[in-house]
Amino acid sequence: MILKKANVLIVDDDPDVLTAVKLLLKPLTQEIITEKNPENLNWLLQKNNIDLVLLDMNFNSAINTGNEGIYWLRKIKEWKPNVCVIMITAYGDIDLAVRSLKEGANDFVVKPWHNEKLIDTITDLLDKKEGGPKTSKSAKSSNGQTSILGESEVMEDIFHKVNKIAPTDANILILGENGTGKDLMAKAIHERSLRANKPFVKVDVGALTDSLFESELFGHKKGAFTDAREDRIGRFEEAEGGTLFLDEIGNISLQQQAKLLTVLQNRQVTRLGTNKPIDINIRLICATNVPLHELANENKFRKDLIYRINTVEINMPPLRKRSEDIVVLARHFAKMYSTKYMKPAVDFDNYALNKLRSYSYPGNVRELQYTIERAVIMADDHLLKPDDLIFSVLEAPAENMIDEDNIQLSTLEKNAILRVIDKHNGNITRAAKELGLTRTALYRRLSKYDI
């Protein structure tokens, strides 16, 4: 849907917000309707052909549930399920805003917002409502430097989520196998956040012994222990105002978990050798290769700590489950290493591309990266051939990485699509609606399964 044809309803009890948004969107849309009282929502939705609602998270209304925005969101979805809803929230309500996404909101914006960003968010949602194409192809830093590439549907969904959560202060837990790019994703989130100009501090907490854990994270005073020859700030203080990235969080002991939980609850650290607490202001991102269901075993990991670090989770998929991205990544690495080693630009012949696509990558993106780096270094020709691509013998054999469950699910999905299309005599619009997909998503699956 073109924004110019859209009817937008803004519901907020702050008249300044209503005026500001109306002035911003009136020249760009067909009609802008403003309303201070959410109790008039049903009447407005029935009277007008509303395409999108901008809904405040909190109202001084008769409902008084403490989270009125969620209440009215549910009502909108009950009355008009197809209307797009963007929640308007303040920084203090980020957790509630994230919850609103699970309740059916399409997106949320944080006060104060950038006008261009709000317009882009509305435009993207209306385009998706009409089945328009997704355009996100990478997670980029604030300076436009690409951190993570991908064209697969699963990565586009991740990029969309990153665009939503990066500007907030929500704690994030990144899950995924080794080599899937969890550290790059953490850095990309930091670079897209409002803390981008502040420090990004990474700590591999899984490698810290109990004796080093407190000193490394919280700091120490001179003389606190035998080798403490001078005062030293910890990583929490080092990350002040910025982002603290705790990698391999799933490998820390229960004793370390208790100490970390205390700091996160109190938002204060106390250096070893002193009793003086120090306030901290950091955004926390954690990562682990331990699956969430294993992490939830209280004999290994405290559930209260999981809730504390996991306001939003991002699951980085293994490369074998995003095979559409293999060639994109391979060409990216080839260009990068050709430049780094001052070699002529290289590409891949068709047989080499087939070899790249057919391999299962037990070492994920990291294995692909090292394979391409080695190939570029050793290349005698500008066109890489299958023999130039030597995969690591350190990883498990490809045969062991066949995902039988995924193969079965793909077969079921393909058969379901064929049945529904046949039922509607080839009408893609009706088939997509029954399958719960956009037309674009259905066309993508038709291409995937060669239907």
The domains of the chain are located at 3-129, 146-315, 319-401, 405-448
Structural contact between residues 362 and 400, judged by C-beta atoms closer than 8 angstroms:
yes
Going by their DSSP bridges, the two strands 84-89 and 52-56 should be labelled as parallel
SS3 73: helix
pLDDT in tens, the chain (451 residues): 467 888 999 999 888 889 989 998 888 888 999 999 888 999 999 888 899 999 988 776 555 455 788 888 989 988 988 899 998 887 556 667 777 877 888 888 877 777 887 888 888 888 776 654 444 445 554 444 445 788 888 898 888 888 889 988 899 999 999 999 999 999 999 998 889 899 999 999 988 887 789 888 998 888 766 676 788 888 999 999 999 999 999 999 999 999 999 999 999 999 888 889 999 999 999 999 998 888 887 788 998 999 999 989 999 999 999 989 999 999 999 999 999 999 888 999 999 999 999 899 999 999 999 999 999 999 988 899 999 999 877 654 444 444 545 556 667 777 778 888 877 777 787 887 777 777 777 777 777 776 7
Q: Kindly give, in sequence order, each residue whose CB lies less than 8 Å from that of residue 201, ignoring residues fewer than 6 positions away.
A: 235, 238, 239, 242, 243, 244, 245
Q: Which amino acid is at 412?
A: L
Domains 146-315 and 319-401 alike in fold: no
Which tokens go with 117?
């960003």
CA distance 12 to 60: 10
Q: Is 144 left (phi over 0), alpha (psi -120 to 50) or beta?
A: left
Closest CA to 210 of 272, 279, 155: 272
Sign of CA dihedral 185, 186, 187, 188: positive
Q: Does the 146-315 domain belong in CATH 3.40.640.10?
A: no
Enter the tokens of residue 53.
């609602």
Buried b (16+ CB within 10 A) or exposed e, 162-171: bbbbbbbbbb
Considering the domain 405-448 in this protein, what is its CATH number? 1.10.10.60
**3-129 placed in CATH 1.20.140.10:** no
d(CA 2, CA 424): 28
Cis peptide before 344 (omega within 30 of 0): no
Q: Does domain 319-401 have CATH number 1.10.8.60?
A: yes
* Cα 336 to Cα 341: distance, rounded to the nearest angstrom: 9
Please give the single-letter amino acid code of residue 432: A
Contact 72, 11 (CB under 8 A): yes
DSSP 83: S
